[in-house]
């Protein structure tokens, strides 16, 4: 859960997430699950049962980054995974209710992007950062393109470099769309592969997949690129649970 971007375009938006993880960690491609009296679509982390990105038929999308503002020292054991906390957002009918109610005692620090897009003209986009002791809440302007990177893997300087790459990409684009954003998330920007968008930190740690949620007035889809297996998956969210 490393580099995430959000861009509003063509009467909708794209939420794109690169997952940096151990290659040995078992992961299932996205599927449809009936949970919390709704249909959820997400790739599953099989070790903990959670996920790092999900969307629902209730027009809510959520994405997770490990860590808060700075790299932290782990204090194991934790009472549940951060990927499980992400799924708990879907128990509530608003970002505000979830933020107020969720108990994060003894949960490892994280950053959670929560997008309520029931009204595409008035998207409620809030970010919850848990630093291990306190909740920090911010409101995101959906009209402004955004990029985040995990504090557990990247220094402040490295995260700023990602923003510069992103700003440069935006300046070069006349018509930003889902395809061009996928290209940004899979292109190379430096010879140092430990810092690139598609990173290789070691033989075990690397960018293993790219997920993208695309929501517009005309179509809704979940794209998943498994970089390790060379596989691509496309789920049509307008007919949830139908894989095409």
Condensed to tens digits (0 to 9), the pLDDT of residues 154-202 reads 999 999 999 999 999 999 988 899 999 999 999 999 999 989 999 998 7
d(CA 156, CA 142) in angstroms, rounded, equals 23
Q: Determine the average pLDDT of the residues in 126-148.
A: 97
Per-residue tokens: 205: 């740690």
Give the pLDDT confidence score for residue 153 in this predicted structure: 87
Rounded Cα–Cα distance for residues 206 and 91 (Å): 32
Whole-number pLDDT of residue 243:
47
**C-alpha dist (Å) from residue 182 to 50, 73, 169:** 24, 32, 12
Domain ranges of the chain: 3-243
Q: Provide the mean pLDDT of the chain.
A: 93
Rounded Cα distance, 111 and 29, in Å: 23
Alpha-carbon gap, residue 216 to 220, rounded angstroms:
6
Over residues 7-45, the pLDDT tens digits come to: 998 789 999 999 998 888 889 999 999 999 999 999 998
Residue 242's pLDDT band, with cuts at 50, 70 and 90, is low
Structure tokens at 170: 């935006």
Question: Highest-confidence range of 47-56, 98-107, 171-180, by mean pLDDT?
Answer: 98-107
Residue 1 has pLDDT above 70, yes or no: no
Q: Where are the alpha helices (DSSP H) in the chain?
A: 82-88, 95-101, 156-172, 178-186
Strand residues in 46-154 grouped as ranges (E): 53-56, 60-66, 110-116, 124-130, 135-139, 146-149
pLDDT-derived band at 244 (thresholds 50, 70, 90) equals very low
pLDDT of 204:
84
pLDDT band at 224 (very low <50, low <70, confident <90, very high): very high
CB 156 within 8 A of CB 170: no
| CATH number attached to the domain at 3-243 | 3.60.60.10
Looking at residue 241, what is its pLDDT? 62
Q: What is the pLDDT of residues 62-85, one digit of tens each?
A: 999 999 898 888 888 899 999 999
Q: What is the pLDDT of residue 48?
A: 77
């Amino acid at each position: 859960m490393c580099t995430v971007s959000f861009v509003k375009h063509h009467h909708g938006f794209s939420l794109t997430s690169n997952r940096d993880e151990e290659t040995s960690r078992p992961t299932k491609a996205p599927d449809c699950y009936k949970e919390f009296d709704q249909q959820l679509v997400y790739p599953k982390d099989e070790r903990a049962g959670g996920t790092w990105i999900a969307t629902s038929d209730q027009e809510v999308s959520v994405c997770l980054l490990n860590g808060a503002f700075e790299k932290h020292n782990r204090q194991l054991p934790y009472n549940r995974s951060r990927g499980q906390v992400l799924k708990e957002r879907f128990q509530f009918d608003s970002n505000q209710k979830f933020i107020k109610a969720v108990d994060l005692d003894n949960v490892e620090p994280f950053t959670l992007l929560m997008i309520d897009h029931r009204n595409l003209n008035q998207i409620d986009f809030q970010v919850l950062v848990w630093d291990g002791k306190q909740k920090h809440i911010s409101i995101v302007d959906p009209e402004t393109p955004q990029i985040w990177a995990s504090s557990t893997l990247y220094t402040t300087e490295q995260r700023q470099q990602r923003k510069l790459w992103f700003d440069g990409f935006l300046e070069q684009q006349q018509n930003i769309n889902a395809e061009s954003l996928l290209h940004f998330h899979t292109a190379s920007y430096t010879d140092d592969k430990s810092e690139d968008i598609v990173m290789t930190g070691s033989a075990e740690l690397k960018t293993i997949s790219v997920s993208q949620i695309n929501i517009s007035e005309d179509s809704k889809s979940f794209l998943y690129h498994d970089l390790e297996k060379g596989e691509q998956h496309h789920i049509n969210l307008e007919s949830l649970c139908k894989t095409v």
